[in-house]
Structure 1
């Protein structure tokens, strides 16, 4: 043990990182994004829905929710980009996005499943056709 006594509450503070807020505190202990259990893929695109009724009222949202909205206002962002830019774990971002989606603040477009993408043969034929032009 060192000769200096740690101040009360110091376990919640890291001198290098600043005050520490646990991820479960940001989500209220939730690990799933809402009652519908929407699964947000890392490449799903998130955009602010300004047309939704009540989308201007963000006063009841937490600071992390507002951060995500601010990031999405600048440009459409993927879930992975939001997590990186907000410096939050992806699991936390997914829960917070579930809240924002349920409240109508954002719209999420899910990526196209691989089964619905065109076959490689068709893509090669298109490329060959373009080269022939």
Structure 2
């Protein structure tokens, strides 16, 4: 049976009881340009119209701190593309803002950037 924090949507033997394509209403392409490293943040505006429980969960998860698309997908236990569709719904209605990763303005193969990432990883390990 599902763990109490997972709610009725997960079953240990069967996995997710609601298929990802039903969460996104069969859509596979987000309307907003989102990368896995894009940062999303709530605006404080309430979504207009009918939103699903996953949309509400996303807003509660993000709160007022910037959160990456990848982190949201991991917490929701949904594929990244489904998460991007949900997030783009919230961006479209004004409940979220999205910011592209900052390395887009820099060369991602810049040696100093790669060395800084490596140094950070070494400090963590």
- Paired with 2:54 and 2:101, the residues of 1 have a C-alpha distance of 25
**How many residues get paired?**
103
Q: Which has a greater percent of helix?
A: 2
1:75 equivalent in structure 2: 65
Aligned with 1:102 (options 69, 74, 92) = 92
Could you tell me how far 1:40 is from its partner in structure 2? 1.1
Q: TM-score, normalised by structure 1?
A: 0.65
* Residue ranges of structure 1 left out of the alignment (5+ in a row): 1-12, 122-133
Whether the 8 Å contact between 2:47 and 2:93 is mirrored in structure 1 is no
Q: TM-score, normalised by structure 2?
A: 0.68
After superposition, the Cα gap between the structure-2 partners of 1:86 and 1:56, relative to the gap in structure 1 and judged at 3 Å, is: same
Moved over 6 A (4+): none
2:123 equivalent in structure 1: none
1:28 aligns with 2:25: yes
RMSD: 2.9
1:49 aligns with 2:43: yes
Which digits, 9 at most, give the CA deviation of each residue in 1:61-105, with x for residues without a partner? 100111111111152210000001111111110001110000000
